Amino acid sequence: MSTEPLSTFESSLTEIGVELVRTSTEEFESTLAPLLDAPAVGTPLPFADVSLPADVETNPTVADLEAARTGVTAAGYGIADYGSVVVQGGPAGEEPVSLYADEHVAVVAASDVLPDMDAAFDRLAEDIRGGTGRAVIATGPSATADMGSLVTGAHGPMAVTVVLLEDA
Amino acid sequence: MSVDDRRRKAERIRHLLDTEGDSVHENTRVFNEGRYESVAKLDDYESLKDEARSIKEDAIERLPELLDRLTETIEANGGTVYVAEDAADANRYVSEVVDGRNVVKSKSMTTEEIEVNDALEASGAEVWETDLAEFVLQIAEEAPSHIVAPAIHKSREEIADLFNEVFDPDEPLETAEELTRFAREYLGERILDAEVGMTGANFVTADTGTLALVTSEGNARKCVQATNTHVAVAGVEKVVPRVEDLQPFVELIGRSGTGQDVTSYLSLLTPPGDSPTFGSGGGGGGGGSGGSDPLDGRELESGGDREFHLVLIDNGRMAMREDDDLRETLYCIRCSACANSCANFQHVGGHAFGGETYSGGIATGWEAGVHGQESAAEFNDLCTGCSRCVNGCPVKIDIPWINTVVRDRINRGTDGDLDFLVEGLTPDEEPGGIDLQKRLFGNFDALARLGSAFAPLSNRVARTDVARSVMERTLGVDARRELPAFERESLVEWFETRGSRVDPEEARRRVALYPDAYTNYVRTERGKAAVRVLESIDVHVDVPSAGESGRAPLSQGMVATARANAEAVYEALSPAVAAGRDVVVIEPSDLAMFHREYERLLPEDEYTALKEDSYEVMEYVYGLLENGASVDVLADGNGERIAYHSHCQQRTLDLEPYTLAVLEDCGFDVATSDVECCGMAGSFGYKSEYYELSVDVGGTLADQFTTDDAADRTVVASGTSCLEQLDALLARRPTHPVRLLDAR
């Protein structure tokens, strides 16, 4: 694929205060390690030859979720124009894991970064018709201005980091 | 309206200006400026709006069919759909489903409309609003003042005082950060304790049964995720045919409302889904927040058995669908652009500019449709028809028109007791019951004709204390406003005597200069200047006697009178139009009539003919200069410093740049205002119940023109109302831009 959506993705993420970390399948674990603050929870990643470190709890209790500082999930795709990641919430718990921890680390394959909302909705429609019961287009951290000025981490994560698997 | 009613209304507005005005103003201005910046980044903004509009038109047209389809889909997925006729029906159903269990809610205006919290609490359930602004209102026991940011009227300090008083934390809360953390923690416990999650829905797709929720905080996600029963409440109008149809709305809703390109979360829920839940609340439900730690030993449970109920609310909507004038309201996606872009709303907020549930410009349509005309009547007059909301509406609803139609209906629904006095004396087409104040301003043409015929005596009499006091008491014309002074010789009379000074055979163009009522009887100088400026560019000018455009009665909701005026104006101008002459208009609000409202008042061919051949005077001069006329015949600005305020309706038609370009071409140094409206808005600022709001709105404009850079600039404005407001609020006397070009 062309690199254009990727550079747009990166600049969109920068604009909304989200760090993009580029890595490869091979270097994934070493790239991820410094991004994890313990305790960390996660859901199994669907990318070939990529897995989570052992100290990431992938079968969390409610208490684990509440206590988690980092939550790692895959994102089905990214949307370059907006710096969004689409988190599909399945039985492994992507929805709660991406929602309760202080920081959400979303792992997305470069080949799944779509240029715009139009392309994203084509994919979403296909996935929803195929049975995806829950999809969240997440753009930046949870935020509110209801208390007089902008604060992140209203109910969801205070920060988001996107890890891009360049060779996936 | 009686004199006492006017006084009460003025007092209420004054109270809100004092207590809530500053917070509302600060926040809505941020949203509004954010909207301009955010939509400017879209290459295809206009086509996205067209697309969104046509999806909604189609969906409402096919609504019964789509509701059937949606019901089938959701039931096939294992959920339940209940179409509630009205609020009571909906509340009965929801209460049965909830059955006394603990409920956590995300923000939903539709649940505000049906007041479901009261019903649930009466049935023994505990209900918590988890949206932080709604949470603030819940503990303050106040109503939303804005459809998207419901606690917009409260400052951080007020929220901190409220929290400290109600919750008495060990350390008093102070910063937005501390308040947010506290609320997150407090509500986090309520979420863990709850068994029912209640949400609204911004959109529902008929093909897949998918709910789209537009949020930023993450509370809606948690409310659904943590509980095992999901109740979604939405108006029937929220249905769209397909998932793909969501795309334009997703791109438009955040930008249009709070100025965010997209909000943090757009949840697409297709219940039940297989995302896990937290199961039943800490150790078995319904027990409230006391007892053991709700976290103890709780595992995630399969979400496949999650119960789902979609409650679709009719509550007047199906009738709105049959109503040719209110139908458009159902296209509304509740983004709040019409509130944020409204100068009156920016200053007084939704507690004045709102009915039982909804607030802002489109609220008139919602309130009239779901709660009835009386609820709309409470605030409908606050829409001045300035039209600044029109271009910002993502589904292109003609919000001023809905306000006008509902005003007309309110006028007609009132029983009057002064029929004997007004019928026959006024030349309008309205029934006897209409408010005298509205009738006075609606018949400005007749008033101006009389005033001019008896000038200057009429001006002197009208200015006496006795006359002003009588006018205030009987008509609600505020005595603090200076009345317009009528000229003895009208512009039409002046021109008849003077005649044209350009040979029609040698003329560059031939035009009919439309003598609007103000230019004709009050501000004749700008009319004379326009004639001279056009003639200096070799334009042959005629000033046909054509009456008031209908703007004055239309702004009072007198649609039939406005139509009669429009027909008369067309008849007066049609010979010129038929002869291929251009129609030049000085007053922007009248040009806006020709370009916008006449579409609803005249036959299509007449509307189109007049629209295509009519121009604002400065736009016309611009066109002449672009087509070879020399700027040298116009007055030389010679670097004179100007502060220019464009007129609201002129800006909606995107005509401000022409005035700016011509003035700069002539050598003036121009600075411009960026307020949405001057606050005068025709008759609005004269009305005693709105005088103070009008001055408050005008104050923002006056502030912009008294900065260090602007204080010495000559003040120029295109609209009559703007000129009157600026004249009242500034020490400098403002003038119309065409007078600057007059080399005489």
Q: Which pLDDT tens digit goes with each residue over B586-604?
A: 999 999 999 999 999 999 9
Kindly determine whether residue A128 and residue B268, on different chains, have CB atoms separated by under 8 Å: yes
Kindly determine whether residue B273 and residue A125, on different chains, have CB atoms separated by under 8 Å: no
What is the ipTM for the molecules in this complex? 0.97
- Nearest C-alpha in B relative to A131: B273
Interface check A66 vs B, CB under 8 A:
yes
Dist. CA B671–CA B713, nearest whole Å: 9
Question: pLDDT tens for residues B93-140?
Answer: 999 999 999 999 999 999 999 999 999 999 999 999 999 999 999 999
Residue B416 has pLDDT above 70, yes or no: no
Interface check B297 vs A, CB under 8 A:
yes
* pLDDT value of residue A115: 97
Average pLDDT of the residues in B458-463 = 90
Tokens 């409309």, located at residue: B113
With vertex at residue B495, the alpha carbon angle to CA B490 and CA B500, rounded to the nearest 5 degrees, is: 165
Contacts of B208 in chain A (CB under 8 A): 125, 128-129
* Greater model confidence, B425 or A14: A14
Kindly determine whether residue A148 and residue B247, on different chains, have CB atoms separated by under 8 Å: no
Contacts of B295 in chain A (CB under 8 A): 61-63, 66
Percent of chain B with pLDDT over 70: 96
The dihedral through the CA atoms of B426, B430, B435, B440 has a sign that is negative
What's the distance, Cα to Cα, between the start and end of chain A in Å? 11
Kindly determine whether residue A142 and residue B242, on different chains, have CB atoms separated by under 8 Å: no
Residue B230 has pLDDT above 70, yes or no: yes
* Contacting residues for B603 by C-beta, under 8 A, at least 6 apart: none
Dist. CA B516–CA B131, nearest whole Å: 51
Q: How far is B303 from chain A (nearest CA, A)?
A: 8
Dist. CA B576–CA B571, nearest whole Å: 10
Residue B425 has pLDDT above 80, yes or no: no
Kindly determine whether residue A134 and residue B269, on different chains, have CB atoms separated by under 8 Å: yes
- Nearest C-alpha in A relative to B298: A62
- How far from B662 is each of B303, B461, B525, B565, B687, CA to CA, in Å? 66, 41, 20, 32, 35
* pLDDT value of residue B285: 41
Residue B3 has pLDDT above 80, yes or no: yes
Question: pLDDT tens for residues A115-157?
Answer: 999 999 999 999 999 999 999 999 999 999 999 899 999 999 9
- How many C-beta atoms lie closer than 10 Å to residue B465's C-beta? 8
Of residues A52, A125, A53, the one with CA closest to residue A86: A125
Average pLDDT of the residues in B379-389 = 97
Q: What is the pTM of this model?
A: 0.95
* pLDDT value of residue B559: 96
Kindly determine whether residue A146 and residue B149, on different chains, have CB atoms separated by under 8 Å: yes
Dist. CA B693–CA B690, nearest whole Å: 5
Tokens 């001045």, located at residue: B384
Q: What is the CATH number of domain B636-741?
A: 3.40.50
- How many C-beta atoms lie closer than 10 Å to residue B63's C-beta? 18
Where do the domains of chain B lie? 52-313, 636-741
> pLDDT band at residue B294, thresholds of 50, 70 and 90?
low
**Pick from B343-347, B434-438, B474-478, B544-548: least confident:** B434-438
Interface of B with A in 267-296 (CB under 8 A): 267-276, 278, 295-296
- Nearest C-alpha in B relative to A139: B264
* pLDDT value of residue B430: 81
Kindly determine whether residue A133 and residue B270, on different chains, have CB atoms separated by under 8 Å: yes
Between A and B, how many CB-CB pairs are < 8 A? 179
Interface check A130 vs B, CB under 8 A:
no
Interface check B743 vs A, CB under 8 A:
no
Question: pLDDT tens for residues B35-79?
Answer: 999 999 999 999 999 999 999 999 999 999 999 999 999 999 999
Q: How far is B673 from chain A (nearest CA, A)?
A: 27
Q: State the best of A62, A102, A139, A155 to mutate against chain B, taking most chain B CBs within 10 Å.
A: A155
Contacts of A122 in chain B (CB under 8 A): 244
Residue B279 has pLDDT above 90, yes or no: no
Dist. CA B248–CA A118, nearest whole Å: 8
Residue B279 phi/psi, 5-degree rounding, is 70, -165
> Residue A103 belongs to what H/E stretch?
strand A103-109
Residue B284 has pLDDT above 70, yes or no: no
Interface check B474 vs A, CB under 8 A:
no
* pLDDT value of residue B417: 42
Dist. CA A124–CA A112, nearest whole Å: 12
Question: pLDDT tens for residues A31-68?
Answer: 999 999 999 999 999 999 999 999 999 999 999 999 99
Tokens 């014309």, located at residue: B477
Question: pLDDT tens for residues A10-24?
Answer: 999 999 999 999 999
Do A93 and A62 form a contact (C-beta atoms < 8 A)? no
> pLDDT band at residue B414, thresholds of 50, 70 and 90?
low
Dist. CA B297–CA B282, nearest whole Å: 9
Interface of B with A in 510-569 (CB under 8 A): none
Q: How far is A118 from chain B (nearest CA, A)?
A: 6
Residue B290 has pLDDT above 60, yes or no: no
Dist. CA B675–CA B468, nearest whole Å: 31
* pLDDT value of residue B433: 74
Do B343 and B679 form a contact (C-beta atoms < 8 A)? yes
Interface check B221 vs A, CB under 8 A:
yes
Question: pLDDT tens for residues B651-660?
Answer: 999 999 999 9
Beta bridge partners of B616: B585
Residue B422 has pLDDT above 70, yes or no: no
Contacts of A140 in chain B (CB under 8 A): 264
Token pair listed for B724: 């009157």
Kindly determine whether residue A147 and residue B225, on different chains, have CB atoms separated by under 8 Å: no
Where do the domains of chain A lie? 4-165
Residue B742 has pLDDT above 90, yes or no: yes
Is B636-741 in the same CATH topology as B52-313? yes
Task: Tell me whether strands B210-215 and B203-205 are parallel, antiparallel or unpaired.
Answer: antiparallel
Q: State the best of A16, A85, A99, A144 to mutate against chain B, taking most chain B CBs within 10 Å.
A: A144
A116: Cα separation from own chain's centroid: 17
Q: State the greatest distance between any 2 C-alpha atoms of chain B, in Å, as a whole number.
A: 97
Interface of B with A in 643-702 (CB under 8 A): none
For residue A158, give the 3-state DSSP assignment: coil
Kindly determine whether residue A62 and residue B278, on different chains, have CB atoms separated by under 8 Å: yes
Residue B423 has pLDDT above 90, yes or no: no
- Nearest C-alpha in A relative to B146: A146
Residue B426 has pLDDT above 70, yes or no: no
* pLDDT value of residue A3: 63
Do B717 and B647 form a contact (C-beta atoms < 8 A)? yes
Question: pLDDT tens for residues A68-114?
Answer: 999 999 999 999 999 999 999 999 999 999 999 999 999 999 999 99
Kindly determine whether residue A133 and residue B216, on different chains, have CB atoms separated by under 8 Å: no
Interface check B177 vs A, CB under 8 A:
yes
Question: pLDDT tens for residues B579-590?
Answer: 999 999 999 999
> pLDDT band at residue B667, thresholds of 50, 70 and 90?
very high
Q: How far is B266 from chain A (nearest CA, A)?
A: 5
Tokens 């995300």, located at residue: B106
Q: Which CATH class is domain A4-165?
A: alpha beta
The backbone region for B36, taken as left when phi is positive above 0, alpha when psi lies in -120 to 50, beta otherwise, is alpha
Residue B410 has pLDDT above 90, yes or no: yes
Residue B670 has pLDDT above 70, yes or no: yes
Contacts of B243 in chain A (CB under 8 A): 121, 124-125, 128-129
Of A137, A144, A156, the CB nearest to B132: A144
- How many C-beta atoms lie closer than 10 Å to residue B436's C-beta? 16
Q: Which of the listed CATH numbers 3.40.50.300, 3.40.47.10, 1.20.140.10, 3.40.50.10420 matches domain B52-313?
A: 3.40.50.10420
Average pLDDT, chain B: 94
* Contacting residues for B147 by C-beta, under 8 A, at least 6 apart: B109, B334, B336, B339, B350, B358, B359, B360, B363
Q: How far is A26 from chain B (nearest CA, A)?
A: 30
